Amino acid sequence: MALLRFTRDHEWVRLDGDLAVVGITDYAQSQLGDVVYVELPEIGRRVEKGKEAAVVESVKAASEVYAPVAGEVAEVNDALAADPAKVNADPMGEGWFLKLRLADPKELDGLLDEAAYQQFVEEQP
Amino acid sequence: MRYLPLTANDRAEMLAAIGVDSIDALFDDVPEAARLAGPVDLPRAMGEIEVERLVSRMAARNVAAGSVPFFIGGGIYRHHLPAAVDHLIQRGEFLTSYTPYQPEISQGTLQCLFEFQTQVALLTGMEVANASLYDGATACAEAVMMANRVTGRRRAILSGGLHPHYREVCGTYARFVGFEVSAEEPLSGEDLPGLVDRDTSCVVVQNPDFFGEVRDYSGLAHICHDAGALLVVVVTEILSLGAILPPGEMGADIVVAEGQSLGNALNFGGPHVGLFATRDKFVRQMPGRLVGQTLDADGRRGWVLTLSTREQHIRRERATSNICTNSGLCALAFTMHLALLGEAGLTRLARLNHAAAVSLAERLEQLPGISLLNRTFFNEFAVRLPRCAAEIVEMLAGKGVLAGVPVSRFYPENDTLADLLLVAATELTTPEDIDRLEAGLREVLS
């Protein structure tokens, strides 16, 4: 089972070989409502941990998606351009946003595991 | 709240409440030297009849545009406004409309703005247009900032053929937003393709340019695109698009324009209406309000503001623009006028303008010492006079002819432009007007 971690900003990150796949959580998509557009970064861009990596736009709001860990953008999910609703339908699967080449894999250790994230979500008002 | 003056009693009560003796005591903190010693020397109050008499006398000193032969252009053009335009926009439902803040309740306004967007997109040859910006100059600065966002670069190249006011507005935005503009000098034989490099976010050109020259920017568009830059085309005389190739067909990425010529009077230089059009792929980086057509819950056609997540009320400081309004009523007038003209009427009106300018140019060229600067033009061109154009314009104004705009008004420090005069003709220019200008010029030049 691949390593899966979460942030308090409701992003998930899953280790896939030497890449980290990033997306937003089921809770995040349910709060946003119907996603209508996703703005993805350019391949090769370096993103810092906690800084904006993408923008997700729903019928209600536009929100920044922050990089859970630092790294270089290796791949983005081009399929979201044509079908942004994948983010609602399958946020942890086909609705992924981007893949990062990790700058420092140890950064993953500082993030929440699934149980801790579930507890964090349950504490949300 | 009542809008009545305070009584002496009201004042006394208020002074007592804050514990001072007099209103003057409130100014004690202002140093004596900075205070006025006595009342300002103003004329005594006048009665209504006196005021009307005084203001009428002052107004009579104006040379109103419609009262004399008028050849002034330079970015704002005098055209005939059909009476129906004024009648329609003064209907209560429209006249009170500002930019829609509670938009969906004003379906009529939204439908008109939707039509407006469609007209602008068709005229400019682009795929999408917004519901208008303030005017051509601010639309131009917005286009540069949009090009910066799209390309991730921060340096714009402005052609010397761009209207100098537009150039100044871009410069102001650049200084305070923090990007770079490099502006070419007018009539300097600029080599725009040679200036485009990998740091260039956009090249801004105007068509017809400030001196009236009509150009084809297709080649420049290719060079911009090869370098990853955008081509921004500015149009200050929107009516020209009834006769010449629209910028969209030349490969422009953003087209901005002043829409005043359709539906709007000279208005002392404003309010006017800024047009902004671009390619579909850039729509999310576009500034301004955008009206979309949709269906309601019962399947009926309706209009809504769309893609609002670009805008300030949702996106805050990360919005595409800090302008979250439009020129609603001026845009409406534009739409009414263009709808009344129709496509054939627009083309005919454009041809009338060009024909008037051609006969004007032919007459002026025959005058000794006057030469035409342009190889091509629409309804405005530049002539070189044998001496200072500003002086000649003043002399002709004294004879009741408004001869045009001396270029030196915009470039007072550039001596090589001092004898240049911009002259415009429209459908309102009569053969008699041209006779008067010709006779006046003969007189002052002899």
Model confidence pLDDT, tens digit, residues B244-271: 999 999 999 999 999 999 999 999 989 9
Residue A59 has pLDDT above 90, yes or no: no
Average pLDDT value for residue range B264-279: 95
A chain contacts of residue B151, beta-carbon cutoff 8 Å:
none
Q: What is the mean pLDDT of residues A51-71?
A: 91
The answer to whether residue B3 scores a pLDDT higher than 80 is no
pLDDT at B1 over 80: no
Query: Which pLDDT score, from 0 to 100, does residue B62 have?
Result: 87
Reference A4, options A90, A124, A111, A119; nearest CA is A111
**E strand or H helix that includes residue B291:** strand B291-295
Residues B142/B133, Cβ–Cβ less than 8 Å: yes
Q: Which of B309, B313, B317, B320 would you mutate first to test chain A, the one with the most A CBs within 10 A?
A: B309
Q: Which tens digit of pLDDT belongs to each residue from B103-147? A: 788 888 899 999 999 999 999 999 999 999 999 999 999 999 999
Nearest-Cα residue of chain B relative to residue A39: B284
CA distance B315 to chain A (A): 7
Is residue B36's pLDDT more than 90?
A: no
With cut-offs at 50, 70 and 90, classify the pLDDT of residue B37. confident
Residues of B engaging A, defined by a Cβ cutoff of 8 Å: 284, 309, 314-315
Domains annotated for chain A, with CATH where assigned, are 4-122 (2.40.50.100)
Distance, in angstroms, between B284 CA and closest chain A CA? 9
The whole-angstrom distance between A62's CA and the closest CA on chain B is 6
Question: Could you give the residue ranges of the DSSP H alpha helices within B105-154?
Answer: 107-124, 136-151
User: Which chain A residues are Cβ-neighbours of B314 within 8 angstroms?
Assistant: 61-62
Looking at residues B349-374, what average pLDDT do you find? 97
pLDDT reading at A108 higher than 70:
yes
Instruction: Tell me if chain B has a CB within 8 Å of the CB of A39.
Output: yes
Q: Which pLDDT score is estimated for A105? A: 86
Q: What pLDDT, on the 0 to 100 scale, is given for residue B316? A: 77
* Residue B319 reports pLDDT greater than 90: no
Alpha carbon of B414: minimum distance to chain A alpha carbons (Å): 45
Task: Kindly provide the residue ranges of all beta strands, DSSP E only, lying in B133-236, ordered along the sequence.
Answer: 155-158, 180-183, 200-206, 230-235
Q: Which two tokens stand for residue B327?
A: 């020129």
Flag if A62 and B315 touch (Cβ within 8 Å): yes
CA nearest to B151 within chain A:
A42
How far apart are the CA of B319 and the nearest CA of chain A, in angstroms?
10
Q: Which residue of A has its CA nearest to B282?
A: A39
User: Are the C-beta atoms of B224 and B196 separated by less than 8 Å?
Assistant: yes
Mean pLDDT of A45-66: 91
Nearest Cα residue to A95 out of A32, A45, A52: A32
At B258, which helix (H) or strand (E)?
A: strand B254-258
Q: Is B102 helix (H, G, I), strand (E, B) or coil?
A: coil
Percent of residues in chain A assigned helix, strand, coil, to nearest 5? 25, 35, 40
Which three-class secondary structure state does DSSP give residue B214? coil
* Residue B425: predicted pLDDT: 98
Element (H, E) at B255: strand B254-258
CATH number of B83-338: 3.40.640.10
Q: Give yes or no for a cis peptide into B271 (omega within 30° of 0).
A: yes
Chain B residues with CB-CB distance to A57 below 8 A:
309
Q: What is the mean pLDDT of residues B181-192?
A: 96
Does A39 sit within 8 Å of B284, measured CB to CB? yes
The band of B418, judged by pLDDT with boundaries at 50, 70 and 90, is very high
Contact B104, B294 (CB under 8 A): no
Hey, is the C-beta of A61 within 8 angstroms of any chain B C-beta? yes
Beta-carbon pairs below 8 A across chains A and B: 9
Average pLDDT over residues B341-353: 98
Q: Which residues of B touch A61 (CB under 8 A)?
A: 309, 314
Q: B314 and A62 in contact by Cβ < 8 A?
A: yes
Q: What is the pLDDT of residues A67-81, one digit of tens each?
A: 999 999 999 999 998
To the nearest 10°, the Cα dihedral for B48, B52, B58, B63?
A: 150
**Domain layout of chain B by residue ranges:** 68-78+342-445, 83-338
Residue B125: the pLDDT is 98
Cα–Cα dist A80/A93, whole Å = 12
* C-alpha dist (Å) from residue B72 to B20, B175, B268, B377, B380: 58, 31, 12, 15, 9
Which whole number is the average pLDDT over B12-24? 93
CATH fold of the domain at B68-78+342-445: Aspartate Aminotransferase, domain 1 (3.90.1150)
